[in-house]
Structure 1
Amino acid sequence: MALLQHQKSRNALLQILYVGVLLALVVTAALTARHNLQAQGILSGWNFLWKSTGWDMTFSLLPTSSSDPYWWVLLMGVLNTLFLGIIGLTFATLVGGLVGLARVSDNKAARLLGTIYLEIFRNIPLIVQVFFWYALANRLPSPRQAIEAGGALLSNRGIYLPGLNIAGWSVAAGFLTLALGLTLLLWLALARRFRRVPPVLRRRRGLAVMLVTLVTLAAIFFLGHTPGTPLLTLPELKGLNIRGGYRIQPEVYALAFAIAIYGGAYIGEIVRGGFIAVGTGQTEAAKALGLSEWQSFTRIRLPLAIRAMLPILTNQYVWLIKATTLGIVVGFADFFMVVASAITHSGQTLELIGILMAGFLIINFSLAAVMNRINRAIALKGHQNRS
């Protein structure tokens, strides 16, 4: 009884009781679900991950076949989602930046165009836009009448681009190496521990990272190249189809284009809000110091606007990553579609839904952690008056 008289002790006991009740509910639900599944003849467990799927993926960055196990196909689904998410976020950011700058421009025509773009694409549901762009892609000419531009061919079967004649694993390894190099460059530029390093030394480190990245890419592509074949492969019409080069399927570029266009409208408003958040006092101070319009924009308005945008951009990026699940409506083999197909063929519903939720939690938490780390690195620390 004396223990319960202390506020801290009572709070600790209440928290233990609360957590215990939650764990009991979870365990009870799990046992009940397992009993019901066994009564229906449905086996639970994770052994199915090592069984062959028996079906092919419509798109994958690395080679896949119907004899691959479920864990490999699920991993390819995650890579497809990351691939589409990176492309969608990149182009949505570029489109949103242009729209946001147009919206805050002094030019009335630019503001009008930015407003028209915003009101059109922000108010049409994303799934409708996905259907529209995919239908438009399927209305392109057949391979025999493919549109040629700069060595690339555009048809209703996809976009064919000139590419390197290398193995699939080397392409994936090259993308990973490039991503690691860019991450390291960003860390060297933003980390606080390097801010006291002389600028000359920082530039040398950056050049060294770029050189190592390029050399590693060259080595990966050299090892992935098949001996006796030309290094560059060009798309060309052979029979009724196009051979050679890299093919970008209509499902891929239609979905990426829809995410970029739709997400760009929202990011444009975020960019506009970031520039509006910059006070006029900073701009007037820049003019008083004799800075040009370009110097005032790049050194004062843009950095301050980015600091105001980042917290909201994080939420928008996370939302756009989740929007990749709409790939199922056009047949793109993203993580969600792969899990849905795996549920149909294996019947392991609870396990696969758990994998799906855990996968998106890891992806979105990682993205939010990176964005929050960048936000903390560039945040301006205020001064507090202490009495």
Structure 2
Amino acid sequence: MNENQYLHYNHHVGHWAHTRCEGNIRYLKDTPFCFSVGRQLSDSMSDFNTTDFTNPSTFILLGVAGLEGAHGWISIPFCVMYIVAIFGNITILYIVNRESSLHEPMYYFLCMLAVSDLALSTSIVPKTLSIFWFNSREIDFASCFTQMYLVHCFLVIESGIFAAMAFDRYVAICNPLRHSTILTNSVVAKICLAVVLRGFMLILPIPIMGSRWPYCKTNIVPHTYCKHFSVVSLACADNSPTSYYSVCVTFFVHSVDGFLIAVSYTQILRVIFRLPTKDARLKAFGTCGSHLCALSTLYIPDLSVSLMQRIDSNVSLPVLILMANVKLLVPPTLHPIFYGLMTKQIRDRLLLIVTQKRV
């Protein structure tokens, strides 16, 4: 969301707040809130320096402004994706924990991914659904920055997990006889710890810097969750340090992890194409298929949203808000489906559990 879009959005929401309260009987119960929202936005747009608004104890999340009447319908796919993500990832954890034959590096990383997916989706969906269903728009100041931290932190962790999984596939295919000696339980634990600590430490400065700034413009956040840019744009201080830092972190994480993944799969493809039989090549591809599909769900939505924002600045704000949510919700929803359907060991164990319960 660029600055022009954001200013246009605030103007739109201010007008929306007044007209909703004055013209629709269904919103009469929210009249104080609506007039407050409209007045705050109008004041902030007309003169930031004369507003009496100071550091808020809460922020107000607008949800998808402009599509308020469709919030109930929008909540349906959000709720379905969240249920699938919760059920699917818990199932993955249950199967791997129950089957001792799956206690291998690949499945340890998969469990770590499942935990990250659960944390990522849970950090945003419950609050989003409360906005859609109960009009519960307020979020505590500290909770807002905690949510911001968790979202960005687990995105960085997931990127690191995919790099670790690519390395695991590289060792398994290129050095199969040394796989168990290279990726011991101790090495896997150290990799997991490094991935988690990297996420925690790299993202920590973002909410720390943002929470220390004065917020005297408005407490209206034009989003369904506390997105970094949407919140820090409300500060009365220069937010360029955290903006630059966020860009640097994003570039660093994507560059390092992308390079490791690319190198791993380049070596994997070289080995696969040297295999003597077609069946052997297909089997080797099969061990990487679920990982590649999961990678696509993480990077393709993110790339699509970034390109949409940069190529077409006239994309409507509701569309951008929905896309920002989709890129966070699609990976946790599809990861367990890909690994459950495309990983033979997990698929077989799941079918065995289901058939045993039926008997």
In terms of Rg, which structure is larger? 1
Q: TM-score, normalised by structure 2?
A: 0.26
Determine which structure has the larger helix proportion and give its number.
Answer: 2
